[in-house]
Amino acid sequence: MELEELKNLWEGMSDRLQQQEQHTKKLLEEITEHKYQSKLRMVKTSETLGAVICFLGALYLILNFPKIEPLAEQIFAILAIVLLFSLPVISLMGLKAMQRLPVSSKTYLETVTSFRKSRVQFIRFQRLTVSFGLFLLVISIPVLASIKGIDLSTTEHFWTLTFPMGIVAFCVFAFWVLKSYTKSLKAAEQLLSEINN
Amino acid sequence: MNRKEDFTKAIQAHQGLLFKISLMYTHNLQDREDLYQEMVYQLWKSYDSFNAFSKLSTWMYRVALNTAIYQLKKSKRTPVTTAIDPQMYHIAEHRDQADEENLKRIYSQIQKLNLLEKGIILLYLEAKSHEEISEIIGISKSNVGTRISRIKEKLKTQLATN
């Protein structure tokens, strides 16, 4: 079958749309009466929950800051607070930017291009977040130990077993995440280069 | 006629195009319904921006196709392969078994095209002129012809290797 034949079948498809009519009528009533809520603008629950957890973590560090000492741990705490506040804010801002819908002012080509560009940026940011996550994990341990009054040097097997195992587990997870992101990134970049050809 | 009645008539007259776009850009019934609703909603929201000097169907294609892209943002990724849509089996009533098999094959290959190619081929299947495709997609008329030829070649190659 050639594409031309599919074209003929495609044109004949409109005859089968009768069943859609009733559905469209009801939908039009909902939309024109402002009873319809767009699903495209919704921020996903997982992203909101992630941001709330980060903010609570930052708040916990701020409230317990007077307990943290010496200076090195205080610097780590400040870095952790900055990361816990900034990463979710950047992520939510990026998400909000992706949700702007200039559906009638842009051509299809412009929309496809900006879709893929924002996808590339999003994936790069996610990769960066994974790296910051590892950094956050490392600096949080002495900070939390300081808040709880635990001397890590006296904790059995902490530096020799528990800590290295935590790092290895995170690295395996980060590698898996980065691998899947790299695949998506390549696909997104390939489309951008195809558009330009 | 008021705005609401005007809009309702426009949608009812062109619901076929919305249905076909939702069929082309989704991979299951739930996504299809979501996209269909979203396209109608976005059309209603931007109805005031419709310039009466341009063709209504051209404007509708642009808004609907752009909404389909934004819907992909929501689902975050496009599956590389897709199951054959049962509704595609029935786009024409009188076909033999061989026709049906071929139709399934060609439809699954179209689903593998990139977003730009998919948009162009959809408008081609809708029998739009090169001029209208150029206006909706945002590429020159001569480029439309070139791209359609390339897509046809690509589909032929894909069909030969699958």
CATH number, residue B104: 1.10.10.10
- State whether B59 and B123 are in the same domain: no
Q: Are B75 and B93 contained in the same domain?
A: no
| Residue A102: C-alpha distances to residues A33, A108, A115 (Å) | 22, 11, 12
In chain B, the number of structural domains is: 2
What is the residue range of B56's domain?
Answer: 1-79
- CB burial readout A96-118, b (16+ within 10 A) else e: eebeebebbebbbbebbbbbbeb
Using the structure block, give the residue that is written with the tokens 């767009």.
Answer: A38
Contact B40 A27 (CB under 8 A): yes
Distances (CA, A) of B47 to A30, A70, B4: 16, 62, 10
Res. B20: pLDDT tops 80: yes
pLDDT number for residue A43: 55
Specify the 3-state DSSP secondary structure of B116: helix
C-beta separation of B78 from B72 below 8 A: yes
Same domain, B73 and B122: no
Domain final residue pick, B25, B53, B79: B79
* Its pTM surpasses 0.90: no
Specify whether B71 is located in the same domain as B88.
no
For residues B110 and B74, membership in a common domain is answered with no
Residue B78: DSSP 8-state: -
pLDDT tens digits for range A5-26: 777 777 666 555 555 666 777 7
Query: Looking at the structure, do residues B91 and B67 belong to the same domain, yes or no?
Result: no
Mean pLDDT, rounded, for B111-122: 87
Tell me: do B64 and B118 sit in the same domain: no
B16, B49, B137: residue with CB nearest A104? B49
> In terms of domains, do B106 and B152 share one?
yes
**Mean of pLDDT values over A41-53:** 74
Q: Which of A108, A184, A191 to mutate to test the interface with B (most CBs of B within 10 A)?
A: A108
Q: What pLDDT sits at residue B80?
A: 40
Give A167's pLDDT tier (boundaries 50, 70, 90): confident
pLDDT given at position A192: 65
> Does one domain contain both B123 and B97?
yes
Joined tokens for residue B79: 């599956």
Question: What pLDDT score does A15 carry?
Answer: 53
Give φ, ψ of B55 to 5 degrees: -70, 135
Chain B residues touching residue A192 (CB < 8 angstroms): none
Query: What is the Cα Rg of chain B in Å?
Result: 16
Of A14, A25, A107, the CB nearest to B138: A107
Under 8 Å between Cβ of A39 and B38: yes
Mean per-residue pLDDT over chain B, rounded:
79
Q: CB contact, 8 Å: A71 with chain B?
A: no
| pLDDT (mean) for B109-134 | 88
Q: What is the mean pLDDT of chain A?
A: 77
Chain A residues in contact with B16 (beta carbon < 8 A): 13-14, 17
| Same-domain check for residues B107 and B68 | no
- Which of B56, B79, B102 is at the close of a domain? B79
Band (pLDDT 50/70/90 cuts) for residue A41 is: low
Identify the residue with better confidence: A74 or B2. A74
The per-residue pLDDT for A57 is 92
Residue B78 predicted with pLDDT over 50: no
Query: Can you say whether the dihedral through the CA atoms of A140, A145, A151, A152 is positive or negative?
Result: negative
User: In chain B, which residues have their Cβ closer than 8 Å to the Cβ of A111?
Assistant: 65-66, 69-70
Residues B88 and B66 in one domain: no
Reported ipTM: the value is: 0.75
Final residue of a structural domain among B63, B79, B95: B79
Mind giving me the DSSP string for B123-140?
HHHTT--HHHHHHHHTS-
Alpha carbon distance A110, A126 (integer Å): 24
Alpha helices, DSSP H only, in chain A? 3-12, 18-32, 45-63, 71-98, 108-148, 163-196
Q: What confidence score (pLDDT) does residue A60 get?
A: 93
User: What percent of chain A is modeled with pLDDT above 90?
Assistant: 10
Interval A48-67 mean pLDDT = 90
Q: Give the CATH number for residue B2.
A: 1.10.1740.10
Whether residues B95 and B47 share a domain: the answer is no
Q: Do A40 and B15 touch (CB under 8 A)?
A: no
Comparing alpha-carbon positions, the chain A residue that sits nearest to B80 is A187
Domain range annotation of chain A: 44-98+107-196
Amino acid at A139: I
- Chains A and B: how many Cβ contacts under 8 Å? 147
A81-139 pLDDT, tens digit each: 999 999 888 878 877 766 666 777 788 888 888 877 777 777 778 777 877 887 888 88
